[in-house]
Chains A and B, each alone.
Chain A
Amino acid sequence: MSLDAADVEKIAHLARLGIDAGDIPDYCRNLSDILAFVEQLNAVDTAGVEPLAHPLEATQRLRPDRVTETDERDHFQQVAPQTEAGLYLVPKVIE
């Protein structure tokens, strides 16, 4: 599977990942090489095989819905770039 510049741009947008226009040919090449490499998987007959998402096939552990943690928002927001009144600030979204 070969990717072209438009493909790479589209995927980068999905990932909200800024890439320089000058790097796009390298990304096309590297990503196409990787995809060509993983093509081998298609030769394998996996009809009827259940996907394995967790090595030990565990399921999500549940606990009683009771408050057990303390509010540490102020402490955790100390590492934030910009906050106000407990909220995280970003450039204006709605015009």
Chain B
Amino acid sequence: MHQKTLVELAAGLRDGQFSSEELTRTCLERLRRFDAGLNSFITVTETESLVQAQAADTRIRAGEAGPLTGIPYAHKDIFCTRGVRTSCGSRMLDNFIAPYDATVTRKLHEAGMVMLGKTNMDEFAMGSSNETSWYGPVRNPWNPERVPGGSSGGSAASVAARLVPASTGTDTGGSIRQPAALCGITGLKPTYGRVSRYGMIAFASSLDQGGTFTRSAEDAALLLAAMAGFDTRDSTSVERPVDDYTATLDDPLKGLRIGVPMEYFDTGLDAAVGAAIEAALAEYRKLGAEVIEISLPNTHLSVPAYYVVAPAECSSNLSRFDGVRFGYRVADPQDLQDLYERSRGEGFGAEVKRRILIGTYALSAGYYDAYYLKAQQVRRLIREEFMHAFEDVDVIMGPTTPSTAFRLGEKADDPVSMYLSDIYTIAANLAGLPGMSIPVGFADGMPVGLHVVGNYFAEARLLNTAHRYQQVTDWHTHCPTGYE
């Protein structure tokens, strides 16, 4: 049952082969058995999940089920869940029981999905390895000595380990796509504004976007359809109808123009990863696509631009955590200054503090023009480069990451080295474009992901592109040893 896709599970539930309660109990059982070795969950909502499953079974029996009714999922602990701890992977919110549901939480609940729990993540979504969490690191199911990627490491690991068939994530610089690549699953970050950010704890407001982890593009289409949509409560939500993502999944790829940036294949890319990407591109040619070499000369600027913009926005967003209205408060504050400084000093971890400091500096008087404004100008150049490329190609492909999953602790003391692991994914966030990562092979026994970027609101095209590949290959069905 744990190897079934969302599509198969929906059919099985509808046909009465099994109930949502049985399915939920199976997932909970696997969670109990395996999660001590992965640490992918911060909070498990066992009692509530069974209540939700029973309610789903009632709907299914009444013939009122939707495509996702009764299906368990894991929810990144960045989404507010009413009555359930929402920690954002931080000591700062360890005691925070969210008083309201995020829009995404509400939508998935209305679709009848069963929430098993809240997944582990890098603290406040800042990280690429899930090593900065207050709750300890998450381990990669393919090799427990390696990172699952971040910041949505728990969501990725739980799907890769088949603890749940789907999970939610968020992506600000690659935090869905990179863990999807390192864990061998399918991750999707939609266009900025496609999925509501209401109740999704903010890191960098102009970059954050909620998205999906599944084991196939076909499943991602189902989950995205439930998550996407205009929301009046999110002032950056886009007023645009949600496409029918499943309708065009099977469209042939004949004539699809795939742009491959030459800048992505330099010395920074691991040779074995590059070989897996080339093999994937060969499959796409067999499917009828045309692979065209393009140039994105500003590629090298995305990481530095991001590491000005994102910390700047985070320093503003995280100023709300002050020990006054919610979250961690230091004991015996001497005065207001002490309350702020020690609550924040003790509540936040080292990487979060680093980014708040960089961001504060970049926005401070005398430096705003030199850093923040400059970075936003470079951001426009990066976006224009993509717009220019999309005049000649339909999608842009390359490796999702420069290497496979690195070892736990390997990059912990070198922030800049950690930042560079996002080199391929970050530009899509700066430009607001949709992106996916799909598994396309292995290098040294560890998964390799192919990164696919589309034009604004081209999620249907991305899903179709990924699905057709998954119909003629089986990388996405590979399961880590021990989790079969």
Contact = CB atoms under 8 A, between A and B. Distances in A.
Interface residues on A, range: 35 or more
Nearest to B353: A17
Contact of B336 (A31, A38, A81, A91): A91
Given A19-B353, A41-B378, A81 B329 contact: yes
A87 B430 CA distance: 40
Contacts of B304: 37-41
A85 to B, nearest CB: 15
Interface residues of B, number: 70
Given A17-B341, A52-B383, A42 B374 contact: yes
Contacts of A93: 335-336
Given A38-B308, A91-B335, A91-B336, A16 B344 contact: yes
Interface string A41-84: 11010100111111110101101000000001001111111100
Interface in B142-193: 192-193
Nearest to B311: A34
Contact of B381 (A44, A56, A61, A76): A44
Contacts of A39: 304
Given A15-B357, A16-B344, A46 B333 contact: no
B431 interface: yes
* Most B Cβ at <10 Å: residue of A17, A41, A58, A75: A17
Contacts of A75: 99
B416 A37 contact: yes
B236 A54 contact: yes
Contacts of A61: 235, 239
B472 interface: no
A81 B380 contact: no
Interface stretch (B33-41, B58-66, B320-328): B320-328
B416 A88 contact: no
A51 B456 contact: no
Nearest to B192: A55
Contacts of B344: 15-18
Contact of B99 (A18, A27, A76): A76
A5 B275 CA distance: 46
Interface string B39-75: 0000000000000000000000000000000000000
A61 B433 CA distance: 21
Interface of A: 3, 8, 11-12, 14-20, 23, 27, 30-31, 33-35, 37-42, 44, 46, 49-56, 58, 60-61, 63, 72, 75-82, 88, 90-93
11 contacts: A16-B344, A17-B341, A18-B345, A19-B345, A38-B371, A55-B383, A56-B192, A61-B235, A76-B99, A81-B329, A93-B335
